[in-house]
Every structure is written in C-alpha cells, then in structure tokens.
Amino acid sequence: MTDHELNELKHRVEGAHRAFPGAYAPAADVWQRARSQVSSNQKREEPIMSMTPTYSIPSTAGRINTGRNSNGLSRFVSMAATLAIVGVLAFGGWFAATNLPPNDGQQLALVQATPTAAMSCDVESLTVDEVMLIVKNPYAYFTTYVDSITHPQKELFELPYRPTAFEFEMGERTKPAEDDFNAALAAAETYLDCLPTATWGQLWALSDPFWVQYRILTQFPVFATEAEVEQYVTSTIDQPLATDHNPVDDVFALLEGQSISVNPDIDDAKTIWPGGWSGSLQPIIEFGIQVTDDSGQIVVKIDSEGNYEEWQPGSSRQRPRILVGQSMTSGEWFVIPWSASFWMGLEY
C-alpha cells in the first residue's frame, strides 16, 4: 500500500463522516462526561493486564513443570487423541426449541443436561501458572511444549507480551487427511464428553490458548492488574462450568433427552483456512454435529458447512459446528471456540 492509497482512503472515509450528521466529531459534552468519570481514588499502583506490550513475562524454563510438557514434541503428537481439544462453534446459536430458554440473541452452546456414564472428563486441568502464562502470551505457552522453535514466525514466540491476534485467511475447503481427521475427531469427542462435568481449568486445557486469553481478559474492564487476573483464575479454575456461563458466550444451554456428538463422517468434515490460525494452529478441521434422541435416532445431522443431512421436525434449525486445530509447534489439538464476540471481524 502506498501513501497515496492510504490518503485516498482517508479522504473518502473522512468525506463520508463529514456528510453524515453526528458522524464526524464527538458530541460537545463528551469531554465533560469523560472528566466526570474520573475519580482520584481509582488510581492503582499495580501493573495492568492489558493488550499493551508492557509485560516482561516470567521465564517459562523451569516454571511450568507438569507432566504435560515434559517430553517435548513427540509427547504431544502422541497425546493428540487423548488431550485433543475441540471448539464448539455456536455460530448463530443452536438449540432444541422445546428444551431451552428463550433465545434472546445470545450465542448458545449445547451441553447435555444429564451426562451419560460415558461422559466424564479426566483431562488434566491447567495450573494457575499455566493459565497466567497463556494470558500473558499464548505463544509462549506453546513454547513450553517444545525444545526448540522452528516456526517461520519465531519472533512471535519471543515477544515479551503477545496480545490476542486472531488471524486467518479464507481459502479452499478441502477434505482432511485421514490421520488428521481421526486425531481431530477424537479431540472433538473428548471436548463434548467433558463439557457437562468439566471444570474451567479442564476447559481451558482443551481450548485454543488465544481463546483462553481472550476469554479471561474480557472478564474485566479495560484494565486489570496481574493480581486481579490471577485472583480470578485462582478462584475459577476448579469451578465447574456454571449453567449460566458457557464456554462459548455466556449462555449454557442444556439438552434433555438428546445426545450430542460429532458428525463422524470424514466426507462431512473439511480442512479450512489453509494459512492456519493466528500463526499457531494448522491444520484446522471443521466438523458438523449430530443429535440423537432417546431411541438412538439421529434427529439432526449437520456437515461442516452447516448443511442439514438429517433434520426431524421440531428439532433445531441452527447449525453448530466444531472447530479443531493442531498446534504447529507442539502437535497438540486445540478447540477454537466460536462466538460472536471472539470473531469480531466476522460477525456482521
């Protein structure tokens, strides 16, 4: 882009603002409103947890010492099937209308109200230190799992503070490789099985670190101190997922008498975003879901693009999907939870 292009765009944008009443400058009282909000007793001396690169993160060497990171890349490749992580895409919300509270426009995640015996969660929770590391720099979190980083954007892993940067590019959707599909499917199933009984620490362990950072920081106003964040993490990490706070976007919808599972047909899954996700996850595989009733009949079955393969009258008309990505450095599979607030650039 040249300066000329930028100036031309500026000119047009400013012109559009000037032409529309109220769109160019703030109202006359905005300064006074800002001024009046200032209270001298709100000053705090602690460092802040913001998106500004003001942090020196603690060295990861020797600090995080759990079984999860002790054996480097090979361990995490082999762990893909057991610790794999999946994201629920509640894109537009999805629910069985007769069982769920009114949809007020918020996103809904699907979780079974009564877990079956097969639904348990033995995923190792993250520690508070691990979560704090993610909050400070998700990339640095990845580096705890590998002996050396050969990532083409190595610099991203070494920055003192890495703010959230969700980046991907659309591209051709392709059929996933069978090995990737199987690992990602196992991850997706682990995630769905975990949701009804998981703690937040377990959920975070199954989720894309970028989403974990985003989710935690957005619990606060613009600024939060490191102590405040750590206090929140400490108080939350062992708590079960509350019914009024889902991991996707604040509403935890429960299904009664129906089972949710991942659409297991490889022809219904797709590898998306060939450029990866935020320079950290690749490949990314998107699954549809299926819902079965008490009799075992599939009442809803959706492919990765949201197309219905099965739909019984009275069932949901929404189209949830599940997104799973593999760490480009550790080989671990992570959920990329999908919500309107997370996908700021898309939800228009």
Partner 1 sequence: MHHNGNEEGDDAIAIAARDDIDAFAPLYERYAGPIYRWMYRETGDVDAANDLTAQVFAQALQNLHRYQPRQSSSFRSWLFTIARNLLRDSWRRYRPTSLPLHLVDHRPGPEDLAIHRTEMDEIRATFALLPERQREIVELRLSGLSIREIAEIQGTSESAVKMAQTRAFKTLRAHLNEGVVR
Q: What is the number of alpha carbons within 13 Å of residue 60 lying toward its C-beta? A: 26
Residue 329: C-alpha distances to residues 72, 76, 157 (Å): 10, 10, 10
Residue 261 found at the interface with partner 1 (CB under 8 A): no
The residue count of the chain comes to 348
Return the closest-CA partner of residue 280 out of 219, 330, 344, 215. Answer: 330
Of the listed pieces 17-25, 236-244, 255-263, 283-291, which binds partner 1 according to CB under 8 A? 17-25
Residue 33 found at the interface with partner 1 (CB under 8 A): yes
The vertex-64 CA angle with 63 and 68, nearest 5°, equals 160
**What do you get for the CA distance between the two ends of the chain, in Å?**
26
Of the listed pieces 74-82, 172-180, 221-229, 232-240, which binds partner 1 according to CB under 8 A? 221-229
Of the listed pieces 36-44, 240-248, 263-271, 304-312, which binds partner 1 according to CB under 8 A? 36-44
Q: Token digits for 116? A: 């079956």
Q: Which residues contact 214 (CB under 8 A, 6 or more apart)?
A: 164, 342
Q: Within positions 158 to 197, which residues make up the interface with partner 1, using CB under 8 A? A: 159, 161-163, 165-169
Q: Whose Cβ is closer to partner 1: residue 35's or residue 267's?
A: 35
Say if residues 273 and 326 touch (Cβ distance below 8 Å): no
Q: Whose Cβ is closer to partner 1: residue 227's or residue 346's?
A: 346
Residue 8 found at the interface with partner 1 (CB under 8 A): yes
Q: What is the DSSP letter of 59?
A: P
Residue 293 φ then ψ, to 5°: -90, -175
Applying CB under 8 A, the site for partner 1 has a residue count of: 60
Q: Could you tell me the smallest distance in angstroms from the CB atom of residue 15 to partner 1? A: 7
Residue 282 found at the interface with partner 1 (CB under 8 A): no
Residue 97 found at the interface with partner 1 (CB under 8 A): no
Q: Within positions 41 to 80, which residues make up the interface with partner 1, using CB under 8 A? A: 42-43, 48, 50-53
Give me the residues that bind partner 1 (CB under 8 A), please: 1, 5-6, 8-10, 12-17, 19-20, 22-27, 30-31, 33-35, 37-39, 42-43, 48, 50-53, 153, 155-156, 159, 161-163, 165-169, 218, 220-223, 340-341, 343-348
